[in-house]
Amino acid sequence: MNPHRSKSAPAMALAVAIIVPALLILAARPGTGQEKAGAAAPPSRVGQQGTAESHDRTNFPLTGKHRTLACRECHINLVFEGTPTDCEVCHWQRRQDDRYSLRLGARCADCHTPQSWKKVDPAFWSHETNVGYKLEGIHRTLDCEACHGSAGFTARSPDCLSCHESDYRGTREPNHVEAGFPTTCPSCHSQRSWSDASFAHTGFLRQGRHASAACSDCHKNGVFQGTPSECVSCHLADYNSTTDPNHRTAGFPLDCSACHGTAATGWSGANFDHAFPIQSGRHAVACSECHQTSDFRVFNCLGCHEKPTTDSHHTGVTGYSYNSQACYACHPQGSGGGPAARPAEAPAAGR
């Protein structure tokens, strides 16, 4: 054995024991730029840390609904290489979410935009231009199958009745069938709602309270044809029950509009063509002041024109008589005739 080698072995072991721990300590501390670069390069996680903005730098910028999707919605199993950009490949071959199975075509972008399936670009496709029927009101909100069914997009008649015959026949207020209403819905309805109908009530002008009345108020039992337009056909009970003044005993006309007009805002405010000018003098009083019985053909002047005063005004008048018929015979216009008035010159009594 070499005596020198046996002496150097302990020295080498001691050196290793000192140097190796020192190197380990130095390696654990922040050191050179090369060490920092090595620490900042973790395994690549492409796609899992990507953003919509980073996707915009690819050949398929994200717009509309695409911008809100999770990566794996388009990148199956998070495989990013080779992901197709054609609409039909993703929406039919992969996802198979075209419920029409490509029967309407394979090029989605020819009609649709990424914002929504229902947001069709009118420059590419228009229901009015391509089909000949403009969608308005509630028709714009309907699903295609509501009109076309699930079998496909075969041509449908644009006539209202082709879709709404059951609505037409099932309506009871008013009953369209019995009333003989036209089957062209736009004649009365808009496309917003059934309830905003505007019927051309040409046979009878509806004003005032008539305009707000329900159809059944005038058209009993749903019968619309042949409904009379004379007032008394609806208002005979009102006529017979009126007591101030009593229309029936007074012999008032059955044509309500003769006194109440056509505005139909209410019964009050009637304008009766009174043969005697009640606007003269102090005659604008309640009916009962002059007509003190239910028979309005009978009138009384003496309740207001007392005998002593009236006698004194007719001193020297030939043929003077203190009674209501004589008063009217000499004073048909309600004004004083004076001593010159004579019965021979006056209208016949009871006029």
List the chain domain ranges. Answer: 55-125, 138-194+220-225, 228-273, 287-345
The pLDDT score that the predictor gives to residue 350 is 35
Token pair for 22? 């020192």
What integer pLDDT is reported at residue 26 of this predicted model? 44
List Cα–Cα distances, 330 to 64, 219, 309, 322, 327, in angstroms: 95, 51, 17, 12, 6
DSSP state of 243: B
Rounded to the nearest 5 degrees, what angle is found at the Cα of 253, between the Cα atoms of 206 and 296?
Answer: 135
pLDDT value of residue 10: 54
Q: Which residues of the chain have pLDDT under 50?
A: 1-7, 16, 20, 22-48, 338-351
- Does the pTM of the predicted model rise above 0.95? no
pLDDT digits (tens, 9 = 90+) for 18-50: 554 544 444 444 433 333 333 333 333 344 456
Per-residue burial over 154-172, b = 16 or more CB atoms within 10 Å of its CB, e = otherwise: eeeeeebeeebeeeeeeee
The amino acid sitting at 282 is R
Could you give the dihedral angle defined by the CA atoms of residues 154, 160, 165 and 171, in that order, rounded to the nearest 10 degrees? 150
Output the CA torsion sign for 24, 28, 29, 35: positive
Residues β-bridged to residue 175: 172
SS3 175: strand
Q: Give the per-residue pLDDT at 300.
A: 93
**Strand bridging mode 116-120 / 112-113:** antiparallel
DSSP 165: H
Predicted local distance difference test score (pLDDT) of residue 251: 80
Cβ–Cβ < 8 Å for 299, 305: no
3-state secondary structure of 93: helix
